[in-house]
């Protein structure tokens, strides 16, 4: 049985097949491919897009969805996540989708289940469905000609599972990443890293802007200090018209966007920004993933 824990769980050919299905599902119309199937979602961390995207994808395929409310579940009574998942598994769902702050948790749950586990984000570790929808958005934009395209991933690289999974996936399709961040969010990498976005912007085909994950940084910073820090960050890393001028460039962001800190209002309205296209693509890519994993031969 196949699970989706990191983008490396799918080969390039499997991903290209997935994209064919995603294209067919692109109009986001309802069908009955997964009629009678039951999907459980378990989100231990906040989510707007990913959770609703999975739920809509499942429902568009005719599946039923049970969203376990973790705030009121038995993990609050001391049950381990492993036991919660084993108990849910005993009720014979067809897939379990999980988001949790512990890196590696979804991978460790595989031995407790008889159905596919889909990782919807584990700490800083991985977010495979986001990387797949990002790649799909890039792939469609460049008509499949992704080889050699330069992509700057800009922001809080050190805390971002979106960055981790994209760095695992995009180079497999010939994309050339450059990691752009202030020193405090820098990671050591086999890819070029820099803190100077302005200096490299002219070389780029794509910018993927990321939010600074303040909730992952331990801090007793006062609100005024935090605001000052955000403004300082925005001066160097916010994607603005002044920065990209009339350049032909694709602007991406996984959301949630901090307006005028990550990307300016003006650029969010600009047709080079495909942030909402990413959200739409998220549904059809997740439809393709659910179809693949649930209908696979056991
Ligand atoms: C991201 C996440 O949760 O990892 N959002 C998402 O899934 N679209 C990024 C973030 O929280 O900044």
Atom of ligand 1 nearest to the CA of 47: 3
Same structural domain for residues 252 and 291?
no
pLDDT at 75: 73
Same structural domain for residues 26 and 113?
yes
Same structural domain for residues 106 and 159?
no
Same structural domain for residues 168 and 247?
yes
pLDDT at 218: 67
164: in domain: yes
CATH of the domain at 231: 3.40.50.1370
Is residue 286 within 6 Å of ligand 1 at its C-beta? no
Atom of ligand 1 nearest to the CA of 161: 4
pLDDT at 222: 85
How buried is 136 (Cβ within 10 angstroms: 0-12 exposed, 13-18 middle, 19+ buried)?
buried
Same structural domain for residues 150 and 232?
yes
Is residue 120 within 6 Å of ligand 1 at its C-beta? no
Same structural domain for residues 24 and 106?
yes
For ligand 1, the distance from its centroid to the CA atom of residue 278, given in whole angstroms, is 13
273: in domain: yes
What's the domain range around 209? 128-278
Whether the Cβ atoms of residue 11 and residue 19 lie closer than 8 Å to each other? no
1: in domain: no
For ligand 1, the distance from its centroid to the CA atom of residue 297, given in whole angstroms, is 31
> For each of the chain's 298 residues, which pLDDT tens digit applies?
999 999 999 999 999 999 999 999 998 888 999 999 999 999 999 888 999 999 999 999 999 999 998 876 777 778 899 999 999 999 999 999 999 999 999 999 999 999 999 999 999 999 999 999 999 999 999 999 999 999 999 999 999 999 999 999 999 999 999 999 999 999 999 999 999 999 999 999 999 999 998 888 867 788 888 899 999 999 999 999 999 999 999 999 999 999 999 999 999 999 999 999 999 999 999 999 999 999 986 6
Specify which residues 151 forms β-bridges with.
Answer: 177, 206
Same structural domain for residues 73 and 187?
no
Does the CA dihedral 217-220-223-227 come out positive or negative? negative
Same structural domain for residues 268 and 289?
no
Atom of ligand 1 nearest to the CA of 50: 7
pLDDT at 76: 73
How buried is 94 (Cβ within 10 angstroms: 0-12 exposed, 13-18 middle, 19+ buried)?
buried
pLDDT at 298: 62
For ligand 1, the distance from its centroid to the CA atom of residue 6, given in whole angstroms, is 15
pTM for this entry: 0.96
Same structural domain for residues 118 and 143?
no
pLDDT at 138: 98
Same structural domain for residues 111 and 136?
no
pLDDT at 91: 97
Is residue 59 within 6 Å of ligand 1 at its C-beta? no
66: in domain: yes
pLDDT at 48: 85
Same structural domain for residues 26 and 166?
no
Whether the Cβ atoms of residue 126 and residue 164 lie closer than 8 Å to each other? yes
Specify which residues 193 forms β-bridges with.
Answer: 179
Q: Where are the beta strands (DSSP E) in the chain?
A: 38-43, 64-68, 95-100, 117-122, 150-154, 176-180, 192-194, 206-209, 250-252
262: in domain: yes
- Number of domains forming the structure of the chain: 2
Cα–Cα nearest to 236, from 189, 286, 276, 198: 198
Say how far apart CA 272 and CA 253 lie, in whole Å.
12
Same structural domain for residues 193 and 286?
no
pLDDT at 41: 97
2: in domain: no
Tokens standing for residue 174: 């010939």
């Amino acid at each position: 049985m196949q699970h989706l824990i990191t983008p490396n769980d799918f080969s390039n050919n499997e991903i290209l097949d997935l994209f064919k299905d995603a294209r067919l599902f692109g109009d986001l119309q309802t069908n009955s491919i997964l009629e009678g199937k039951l999907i459980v979602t378990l989100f231990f961390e906040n989510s707007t897009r990913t959770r609703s995207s999975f739920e809509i994808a499942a429902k568009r395929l005719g599946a039923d969805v049970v969203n376990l409310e973790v705030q009121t579940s038995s993990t609050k009574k001391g049950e381990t996540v492993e036991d919660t998942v084993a108990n849910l598994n005993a009720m014979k769902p067809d897939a379990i989708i999980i988001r949790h702050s512990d890196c590696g948790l979804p991978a460790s749950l595989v031995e407790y289940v008889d159905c596919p586990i889909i990782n919807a984000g584990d700490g800083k570790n991985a977010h495979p469905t986001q990387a797949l929808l990002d790649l799909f958005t890039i792939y469609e934009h460049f008509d499949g000609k992704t080889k050699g395209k330069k992509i700057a991933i800009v922001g809080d690289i050190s805390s971002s599972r979106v960055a981790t999974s994209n760095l695992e996936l995009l180079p497999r399709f010939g994309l050339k990443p450059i990691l752009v961040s202030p020193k405090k969010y820098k990671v050591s990498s086999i890819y070029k890293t820099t803190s100077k976005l302005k200096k490299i912007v002219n070389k780029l085909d794509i910018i993927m802007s990321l939010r600074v994950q303040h909730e992952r940084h331990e801090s007793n910073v006062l609100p005024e200090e935090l605001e000052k820090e955000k403004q300082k960050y925005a001066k160097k890393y916010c994607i603005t018209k002044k920065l990209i001028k009339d350049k032909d460039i694709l602007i991406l962001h996984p959301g949630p966007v901090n307006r005028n800190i990550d990307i300016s209002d003006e650029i969010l309205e600009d047709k080079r920004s495909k942030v909402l296209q990413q959200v739409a693509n998220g549904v059809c890519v997740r439809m393709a993933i659910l179809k693949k994993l649930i209908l696979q031969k056991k």
